[in-house]
């Protein structure tokens, strides 16, 4: 398999502290690769040497705040490591693994170091045996890295990555930092790459204004590595950049894909892990998928693949939307954080978010852009003036249409004996009348006062309207005439 190493930059102190310019140069010279390795210049951080010695368990004079912080962390820091158990579901291609995270009991950083060093001794013995049998492979040098120097360790890692072997131990995502407020460069300035207070294109001040504390985004995080401990394929939350600085210990191997290869890689992973894809469309953000470089060759992705081996005192920067993974050669301590540049907003808008994990990082990019321009005014709720619509006209009453077959209503003659009779006060109509204390619902006259000769109104007689035998069935209430 052809190997391509990532770009390696060795900037001066002035170039190193200008993060924006350095990132533009890295993206241009790397030709779209997923990662770049940066070798910090001498004097970039006064605590670099003492921190490395302290994490290695060596005695330090404690002249720098970074060194004192590292010694204190090693003596007092408590962490909850994990075991990374791999499996190959049925139908999964060779070289693809699903990872199960197994939480372990809480331990101290010092005890973790002791355990990791024992595992490292055994791993080094196996690596030496594998190196003797391993055929050295060539390297297409894009920078000055030579990944074939660690080919034996790499071969031993992928060979040991099986469900039958003991799951590696990893102290990942420890919410702590080795950097302090008193850190200085050799010139007495604040380090440009202060991982706990990196300028981050004002992203951190923006999140601080929102009172949001996101480990790994608003502050740095420590990673305590052990032999064969790995980090699965993933992209950074919100498509942010990330920087990883190796304080001390064994090297760390990295693999990365060009961001332009992300859609094809995601498609191949969905085909290899259909069950995971059905459960969550962004399952790769769970960091539970490991794919070997050999399988990437079969997927025709090797042309987008770059590698590097990170050693103590070196940084690795990952670019937005670039998938990456890697593993530790032995015990080491690294620190990592996310950051943004002036060009991040556009790609940050395109970031997808996993909905099945509560700790998924979400950043309101439009609000962030307004805040960069308007400042505090971006958080002011501006009243929205909406013109009230004109009142609707009252509904028109529909005129009742007279039926052509209806007969005009007849009126009393007011001359017959019934019209002149008095109410009896006993029939049901009289009892319903309010005159006799009734509710007045029937609104009918007394049965003894039903007109015997009802007449049509004059208008009906003139118009020639048809007439009927009576209205409101008055005739039914007239007592029958006995003959």
**pLDDT over 80 at 335, yes or no:** yes
Taking Cα atoms as reference points, which of 113, 124, 26, 43 lies closest to residue 77?
113
pLDDT digits (tens, 9 = 90+) for 117-176: 999 888 777 667 756 765 555 544 444 444 445 777 888 899 899 999 999 999 999 999
What is the per-residue pLDDT for 23?
A: 93
pLDDT digits (tens, 9 = 90+) for 3-17: 688 999 999 999 999
Chain center to CA of 68: 37
Q: Which domains does the chain have, with CATH numbers?
A: 3-376 (2.60.120.650), 417-477 (no CATH)
What is the per-residue pLDDT for 465?
A: 47
d(CA 442, CA 439): 8
What is the per-residue pLDDT for 470?
A: 44
pLDDT digits (tens, 9 = 90+) for 240-273: 999 999 999 999 999 999 999 999 999 999 999 9
Helix (H, G, I), strand (E, B) or coil at 169: strand
pLDDT digits (tens, 9 = 90+) for 85-98: 999 999 999 999 99
Q: Which residues pair with 310 in a beta bridge?
A: 252
pLDDT digits (tens, 9 = 90+) for 165-192: 999 999 999 999 999 999 999 888 989 9
Q: What is the 3-state secondary structure (H, E, C) of 230-267?
A: EEEEECCHHHCEEEEEEEEECCEEEEEECHHHHHHHHH
Both tokens of 284, joined, read 């790769």
What is the per-residue pLDDT for 290?
A: 97
| Residue found by looking up tokens 């920087």 in the block | 243
DSSP secondary structure string for all residues of 153-203: HHHHHHHH-STTSPPPEEEEEES--S--TT---TTSSPPTT-TTS--GGGH
Share of the chain above pLDDT 70, in %: 87
Helix (H, G, I), strand (E, B) or coil at 333: strand
d(CA 379, CA 371): 8
Residue 172 burial (C-beta neighbours within 10 Å; 0-12, 13-18, 19+): buried
Average pLDDT over residues 206-218: 89
What is the per-residue pLDDT for 166?
A: 92
Instruction: State whether the Cα torsion 436-439-445-447 is positive or negative.
Output: negative
* pTM of the predicted structure, to 2 decimals: 0.75
Helix (H, G, I), strand (E, B) or coil at 225: strand
What is the per-residue pLDDT for 468?
A: 45
Residue 103 φ then ψ, to 5°: -65, 140
- What mean pLDDT value characterizes the chain? 86
Instruction: State whether the Cα torsion 48-50-51-53 is positive or negative.
Output: positive
- Number of CB atoms found within 10 A of residue 102's CB: 12
Cβ–Cβ < 8 Å for 244, 336:
yes
What is the per-residue pLDDT for 462?
A: 56
């Amino acid at each position: 398999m052809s190997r391509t190493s990532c770009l390696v930059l060795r900037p001066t102190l002035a170039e190193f502290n200008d993060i924006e310019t350095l990132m533009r140069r890295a993206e241009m010279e790397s030709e779209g690769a997923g990662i770049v390795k940066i070798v910090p210049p001498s004097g970039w951080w006064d605590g670099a040497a003492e921190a490395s010695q302290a994490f290695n368990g060596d005695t330090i004079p404690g002249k720098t705040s970074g060194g004192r912080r590292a010694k204190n962390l090693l003596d007092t820091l408590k962490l909850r490591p994990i075991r990374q158990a791999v499996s190959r579901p049925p139908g999964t291609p060779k070289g693809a693994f699903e990872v199960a995270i197994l939480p372990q009991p809480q331990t101290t950083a010092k005890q973790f170091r002791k355990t990791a060093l024992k595992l490292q001794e055994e791993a080094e013995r196996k690596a030496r045996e594998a190196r003797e049998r391993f055929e050295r492979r060539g390297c297409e040098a894009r920078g000055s890295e030579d990944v074939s120097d660690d080919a034996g360790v790499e071969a031993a890692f992928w060979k040991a990555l099986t469900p039958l072997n003991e799951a590696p131990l990893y102290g990942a995502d420890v919410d702590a930092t080795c950097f302090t407020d008193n850190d200085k460069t050799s010139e007495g300035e604040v380090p440009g790459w202060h991982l706990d207070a990196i300028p981050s294109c004002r992203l951190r001040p923006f999140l601080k204004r929102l009172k949001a504390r996101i480990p790994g985004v608003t502050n740095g995080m420590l990673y305590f590595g052990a032999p064969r401990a790995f980090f699965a394929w993933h992209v950074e939350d919100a498509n942010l950049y990330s920087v990883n600085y190796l304080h001390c210990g064994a090297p760390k191997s990295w693999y990365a894909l060009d961001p332009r290869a992300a859609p094809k890689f995601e498609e191949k992973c969905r085909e290899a892990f259909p069950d995971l894809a059905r459960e969550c469309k962004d399952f790769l953000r769970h960091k539970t998928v490991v794919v070997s470089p050999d399988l990437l060759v079969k997927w025709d992705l090797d042309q987008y693949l770059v590698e590097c081996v990170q050693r103590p005192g070196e940084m690795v920067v990952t670019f937005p939307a670039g998938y990456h993974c890697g593993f530790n050669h032995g015990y080491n301590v690294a620190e990592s954080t996310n950051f943004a540049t002036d060009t991040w907003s556009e790609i940050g808008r395109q970031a997808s978010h996993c909905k099945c994990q509560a700790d998924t990082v979400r950043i309101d990019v439009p609000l962030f852009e307004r805040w960069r321009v308007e400042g505090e005014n971006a958080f002011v709720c501006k009243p929205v003036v909406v013109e009230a619509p004109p009142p609707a006209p009252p509904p028109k009453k529909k005129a009742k249409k007279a039926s052509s077959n209806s007969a005009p209503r007849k009126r009393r003659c007011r001359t017959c004996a019934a019209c002149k009779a008095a109410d009896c006060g006993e029939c049901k109509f009289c009892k319903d009348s309010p005159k006799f204390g009734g509710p007045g619902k029937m609104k009918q006259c007394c049965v003894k006062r039903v007109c015997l000769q009802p007449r049509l109104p004059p208008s009906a007689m003139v118009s020639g309207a048809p007439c009927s035998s009576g209205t409101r069935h008055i005739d039914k209430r007239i007592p029958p005439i006995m003959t």
